[in-house]
Every structure is written in C-alpha cells, then in structure tokens.
Chains A and B, each alone.
Chain A
Amino acid sequence: MSTDIKSFKAGSPMSDVLRMERMPHIWCPGCGIGSEVNSFAEAVKRSGIDPKKLVVVSGIGCTGRVAGYVNFDSIHTTHGRAIPVATGVKLANPDLTVVVFSGEGDLTGIGGNHLIHAARRNMDLVVICNNNFTYGMTGGQVTPTTPNSAIASTTPYGNYEYPFSLPFLVDAAGATYIARWTSMHSRNVTQSIEEALLRKGFSFIEVISPCTTLYLRRNRLGDGVDMLQHYQENSILKHGCDTRETAIDYQGKIVVGKFVDKNKPTYLEGVDKCCVKLVGDDYQLYGKTIPEREAEEKAEKERIAARRAAMAATEAQGEEAVPAKPRKALAAKVKKAPAKAPKKAAAAPKAAKKAAVKPVKKTAAKAPAKKVAAKAVKKAAPKAVKKAAPKATVKTKAMAKAAPKKTRK
C-alpha cells in the first residue's frame, strides 16, 4: 500500500495521529504491527482523550519502534524498560494517559519483572503487547511465548521450552483489564484500546500477530494472509474466559476476547488514601490537593464526554447521508440498544467500517471477520460508555453468556 508514499501520506486518515514525516515505517509486508498501530490511532481518536496528554513509551524491537511513528509525546527506551519508564512518566504527572506499546520479547522476556510488578501495583498504564512469538528485530529467536515445538533461529530443531500464557500471567499478577485479540480483529483491538484508554488501572491488551519474515517463514506457515485465515478459523471468542484456559499451542486454537475488567484502586489512589490519612486534607502531591486534582479530572472527563458526543453526532449525521441499505438495516437494529447511549450505538457500525481489516489482499479474512467484529462491537459498544465511569462493575460473566462461543464460519 505504500507504492506512492506522497499521496499515501497526504491521504491517510491517520495523518494527524501518526508522524507522517517518519513514513514509510520499517515493518515488513504482512506484519501485524502496522494494523495494530492503525487500531491504536483509531482508538485514540474515538476515545476523545486529549492527544496532548497522551504519552507512548516503547521498548526495543520491531514493536519498540511504534513510539517513533505516533504523533504524541513518545519515548523509545532500552530493552524491556518501557514499563518502568512509563511508570515514571505517569507518576511524575498523573494527568497524563500513558501507553506502553511493545513486543512480547521486550515486555515478557527481558522486561517480565517490570510487567508483573506494574500489574501488581495496578499502575495506571495501558500496555499493548504485540505477540508474534519471535524476536523479529534480531532475526527470529525464540521468545517466552513461542509455542512448544515451533522453530526459531535459536531453536532450530523445535522449541523445547514451555511458553507463557500472557493473559494468565498478568491476571495472576493483578492486572485489572485483560483482553486478547489477533491482528485480524482490528475493530476489536480498537475497541479494547479505546476502553483501556478511558479506564483507570493496569490494562493489558495482547495482540497475536504474524511475523511473516521470520516466524512464518521458518515454520513454513505461509504468508500474512494465510495467517489471518488461520486466526479467523482458529480464534475462539470467549469474553470473560478463565485466563487459565488461554494457553496457545503451536498452530492451535486462540482464545480471544475480553477476559478481565474489574475495578481496584490504582497505585496513585493508594498513595492518596494513605497520605491523606497521614497529612490530612492539606495533603498535596506536586502542589495540588486531592480535591483540586479531582476537580481537574472531572473537568477532563467532561471534555472527553463532550468530544465523544460531538464525534458521535458527526458520525450519526454522516450515517443519515449515506443511503446504503444494509448499513441502515444494521443501524436500525443497533438503535434498539439502551437509550442511555444511543449516539454511541448508532456510531458503532460506521466506526467498525472505518477500522476494517487492512486490505492486504481482499480475500478470506474479510467477510467473516466483519461479521464477528460487528457482533462484538454491537455487544461491547454500550458498555464502553459505562466503562468510562469509575464505578463500572464486572460484566464479563454476562458477556460470556451472551457472546457466541465460536467465531468461525
């Protein structure tokens, strides 16, 4: 898609959230990171958060380069240290929304200790983990998530180690929001990132993604499109799934969905609670009292809500202008959703279309993916609005019941 860079740069709907002067990016054709960044950019736009207050921190590796392409304050750190750097940013200025975007080798190998401790503290971070089962930048070595028996450059006769199941790992460590998708589930990735951006606490989003150049080639698994087809055929949508059941075997089934979404005081809320007891109402952090900070937070939330409402209104308008039949039918269905968030619900199909799977090739992946994603969006959309409120409760069980057990065909 990057044959004509100039027109691509000018025409990209993401030109305001990506550093277009840094394009073309370094990622290989068929790699999933590009579509994840696209989902991320879309989620940032849809979330209504102030892009000035967003900081993206990456580690080292292919996914580590994300920080260099997003048009926000961005820090490209050392290998594995993205989470502690992000922790520093968040604690230095609690007004900021801090996202860690990195690969599984970086986050769970060299940076594994930081990952579990940030989860344990319920540090207010959004961690997006691109899991492609390989150290791509260094040439395809085995990682902590490489399935048993898979071939990597350092396990040329097959991997004899056992992999981490990341949702299970971070769940045990204390993460309060855990979702997993594949890079085929672009709209769900967008949805999850949007939810995570609007909530407090440690959010972990794993995106299974193809490394065409190394992992797929070494294991003779075809190209990126073949892998998307594999994802489509082998993904099992299971919201609220017990994270103990999310392990991934070599070329096996991939349980996807939102597994955990619960409330627990964040690290900073814990600091406040402790210090206000000690110092009294005069307690200040960086010169601001708790009521002052709460007022600022409330005002910011209102601004976010206003931006979201404005966006929803614009999208609803656009919706009416388009006469296409099937979409109207879908919109009509969605309008039955609770009256609380009608605008949001009406916006969902349109947004879902915008975030459509990157047309690497217009083959297999598209049609069923659309069906699945649309369903998920339909289910999740009204919830997302609720999630923005701090008192959102665990809905995962109900969602699990409502959600289709299998997503394929």
Chain B
Amino acid sequence: MKTKLSGVSEQANVRSSGRYAGTKTVTADPKGVDSGPHFMDGDHAIAEGALAAGCRFFAGYPITPSTEAAERFAERAPEVGALFIQMEDELASIAALIGAAWGGQKCMTVTCGPGFSLMTENLGLACMTETPMVIANVQRGGPSTGLPTLTAQQDMMQARYGPHGDNAIIALCPDSPQECFDLTVEAFNLSEFYRVPVIILTDETVGHMHEKVVIPPADQIQVVPRNNYSGPKEDCRPYKFDSQGGHPMVRAGDGYNFHITGLTHNEKGYPVMTADQNKIVVTHLMEKINGNADMIIRLDEDQIDGAEVVVVSYGITSRIAVKAIQDARKEGIKVGSLRMITIWPFCEKRIREISSKVKAIVVPEINYGQMVLEVERNAGGRCKVISVNHCGGAVHDPEVILDAIRKAIQ
C-alpha cells in the first residue's frame, strides 16, 4: 500500500464512507480477505479483491489473458464458502450473474475482448434491469481473435458503447496488481450503490504482471453491503427512476414477487412500452451515472498547475508515460500528468478545465485512438490534442511519448 503506484487504497478507505451517500459501508468479511503482503499478478489480485469485497459467486469461461482470475477464484471458493461455476460460454456466464445478483449474491466474471463481445448482450440486460455485477476485461490485442497473449487497450469504447441502446456503465482502469485489488473492491462498492455493472478495464500486461500486493486487514476494507428491500410488500418497487444510486435491490425468495424484464418497464418492473416511459427509463439510466460523475470519478494528478503539456493516460500506459514525463521534465518542459483511474464516466469537466490552461494534451494509449476522441471532444479546440497510438501487442516505447511531448510545445 505504501508503493508509489497505489496511493489509491488509502484514498479509497478515507473517502469510501462519503462516496456512497446514504449507504452505510461495513468492514469486509474476514473470511474472504487474505491479509498480508503477496507477490501476485493482476488477475489473481482481481480475484482476491472480489473475495474481499464480499463476492461469493463467480461464473466464468476460460479466455486468455483473464483465465488466472477465474482459476484463483475457483481455488479459493471452497474455503471462503463461495461458488465458482465454469459456464458453457460468456453469454451464459454473464446471464448467470444476473440470476445470481437477484438471487442475493455479489457476483463477478472475467473475460477479454472476444468474450466481452458475447457478454455485451446481457450487459445490456444488466444495465436495463439495474443489476449490480463486476466484469473484469483483461484486454488483449484485437480485432477478433487478434493477439491472445499480448496486451492492448482496444476495448475502451466497446466497454462504454458495446450494448445496443442508450445506457451507461462505470469502468475503472488499474495500472498495477495492487490497484487491481483496490479497484475491484471499489468496483463492487460502486456496483452495489449505483446498481450498475462495473467494468474493470485492465490489460494483459497488468493482468500477467507479478508485483507486490498488500491486502489490508479486513477491518480496513470498507465495503458497500447488498442493500435488500425489507419494507411492506405493497410498497416494493424494484426500480426508482430518480437518476440516483442507493435504491435497494429485491431478493428472490423474500416474498415480494418481483418482476424484472429487459423490456421498457415502470418502477414495479412491469412492461410499459411507450416513448414516454422509455424517456423516463433511459434518462434515469444515463443520469444515474453521468449525473453523479463527480462522485464516481477518481483521477491521479501530478503537477498540472502551471504545466504547458499534460499527458492524459490510463492503465499500463500511464506507467510507461511516467518515464517520458520524467525525461521531459529533465529537458525543462513543464509536463503534468492526469491518470484516469475511472475511465467511464469520462472526466469531461476536468479535461475542459485543463484544456483552457495548457498548450497541448498528449494521449498515449494502446489502440488506434479511442479515448483521445473523448479528450478532443471536451478540449473543444482550446488546446492541441495529440494522439500517441499503438496498435497493440506491446506497450509504448517511452521515447515515442517523449517525442510527442516535445512536439506539443513547438
């Protein structure tokens, strides 16, 4: 936790009580917390984070480079009292999560691009039915089968816009195994509070990178517990279209006879297929996330005040960028760094602020240029936006990012 790269944990612990307004956090169930220092890869850290956060149901399907997380969970499940099931495909994996979530369990799955493509079907259903779940996408190079064992950050837009129809999700980008642990706990907390699928958008490099991971004692991990409705039956509503989080789930078997559907529905969950109702539902789904972006978004900033150039990065690329930034500073260039820990919802406000103060924003990412589009949109022409793209299969050479920084001030 003291490592330079993971100040997040401490921050998370300090802030967690205030982040989920109206919902009391509790300390983690010690049964799932394997406290102490470990040497593990990002995939394993995701599984440990899930167990620490109280996840007790995991449905998955093997796919490189995410499989290790499923294996870790499967290995740990019996001693923790959790259940792991390998489903027949990714379609079934995420479908099982929807069932398990309404059955009362915190649940997760892991996958990468090809599996995520299959999952987008029921990711849409999970968004529509406001079902909490965590999906880790350990990205590999694409398109299609692409580069199964090599890294990429090419699913950034898919995570946000994969399912058809308008919906919003939350996505987090860890840059280290330690952050994989921390952010998985956070992902569960956000997911439970906002009742939305939360995606951990990591990559093969972080997933397969072994580093020191310190799992704190259970009493130092704050988790948002599942909030199940317990009031009178006649007032039971699975949904509340108020553009806010914190609405309780209804658990199967509690006698409320809930109904949920992927059809446009009213607060009782019954289908109401009209334009008016769809406006109510879609507005709620979008604003629940976008309207609370300030509460959700976490950024890691460094020397942005007075900077001429700001490097906006995320995930593994941000660690490569550190080298370029340091070298640029040695050359006397005033460079700031903005690392997006929360990638969706996008930090629009902050980019707008920064764009009016700097000459240029440099956006390195291991794709042909995805998040740079968001940066450009929000910079709105107020500064130069330079994309440093990479087609996947490896991380950037820091020199390439440094060159971009140099060009930016010319």
Q: What is A's interface to B at a CB cutoff of 8 Å?
A: 19, 22, 52-53, 55, 57, 67-68, 71-78, 80-81, 83-93, 95-96, 113-114, 117, 267, 271, 274-275, 278-279, 283-287
Contacts and interface: CB of A to CB of B under 8 A. Distances in A.
A66 to B, nearest CB: 11
Contact of A88 (B59, B81, B258, B259): B59
Contacts of B82: 285-286
Contact of B257 (A72, A85, A275): A72
A113 B262 contact: no
Interface in B74-127: 78-79, 81-83, 85, 87-89, 91-93, 95-105, 107, 121-122, 124-125
Interface stretch (B196-204, B248-256, B334-342, B343-351): B248-256
Contacts of A95: 253
Given A67-B261, A76-B263, A78-B95, A113 B89 contact: yes
22 contacts: A52-B254, A55-B252, A55-B253, A71-B257, A75-B99, A75-B260, A78-B122, A80-B91, A81-B92, A85-B99, A86-B99, A87-B92, A88-B95, A90-B99, A90-B103, A91-B103, A92-B252, A93-B105, A93-B253, A275-B78, A279-B79, A285-B82
Determine which residue in B56, B87, B252 has the highest number of CB atoms from chain A within 10 A of its CB, and name it. B252
A242 to B, nearest CB: 27
Given A78-B262, A117-B92, A89 B103 contact: yes
A397 B261 CA distance: 42
B95 to A, nearest CB: 4
A91 B85 contact: yes
Contact of B57 (A71, A73, A88): A88
Interface string B43-59: 00000000000001101
Contact of B103 (A71, A96, A274): A96
Given A84-B99, A89-B100, A275-B78, A73 B252 contact: yes
4 tightest A-B contacts by CB? A88-B99, A92-B103, A88-B96, A84-B95
Given A88-B57, A89-B102, A278-B78, A78 B107 contact: no
Given A53-B253, A92-B57, A95-B253, A81 B95 contact: yes
B88 A113 contact: yes
B30 interface: no
Given A73-B253, A78-B95, A88 B83 contact: no
A89 B102 CA distance: 7
B89 to A, nearest CB: 7
Interface residues of B, number: 46
A283 B96 contact: no
Contacts of A88: 57, 59, 95-101, 103, 107
A93 B104 contact: yes
A269 to B, nearest CB: 13
Contacts of A76: 259-263, 271
Contacts of A287: 81
A90 B105 CA distance: 11
B229 interface: no
Determine which residue in B82, B91, B253 has the highest number of CB atoms from chain A within 10 A of its CB, and name it. B253
B270 interface: yes
A65 to B, nearest CB: 9
Nearest to A81: B95
Contacts of A90: 99, 103
B326 to A, nearest CB: 47
Given A74-B259, A286-B56, A52 B100 contact: no
Interface string B144-158: 000000000000000
A81 B91 contact: yes
Contact of A286 (B79, B81, B92, B262): B81
B121 A114 contact: no
A278 B77 CA distance: 11
Interface string B264-297: 0000001100000000000000000000000000
Determine which residue in A89, A95, A284 has the highest number of CB atoms from chain B within 10 A of its CB, and name it. A89
A227 B102 CA distance: 40
B91 A84 contact: yes
Nearest to A60: B262
A283 to B, nearest CB: 6
Contacts of B259: 19, 67-68, 73-76
Contacts of B103: 55, 88-93, 96
Determine which residue in A73, A77, A279, A285 has the highest number of CB atoms from chain B within 10 A of its CB, and name it. A73
A285 B121 CA distance: 30
B186 to A, nearest CB: 23
B53 to A, nearest CB: 15
A81 B122 contact: yes
A284 B31 CA distance: 11
B256 A73 contact: yes
Determine which residue in A57, A84, A86, A284 has the highest number of CB atoms from chain B within 10 A of its CB, and name it. A84
A87 B99 contact: yes
Given A68-B261, A73-B258, A285-B83, A93 B252 contact: yes
B95 A68 contact: no
Given A22-B270, A74-B259, A81-B122, A283 B105 contact: no
Contacts of B88: 84, 113-114, 117
A92 B122 CA distance: 18
A283 B252 CA distance: 24
Determine which residue in B83, B92, B102, B105 has the highest number of CB atoms from chain A within 10 A of its CB, and name it. B92
A372 B89 CA distance: 43
B262 A92 contact: no
Contacts of A68: 259, 261, 270-271
Contacts of B252: 55, 73, 89, 92-93, 96
A91 B81 CA distance: 12
Contacts of B79: 279
Given A22-B270, A72-B257, A283-B78, A87 B262 contact: no
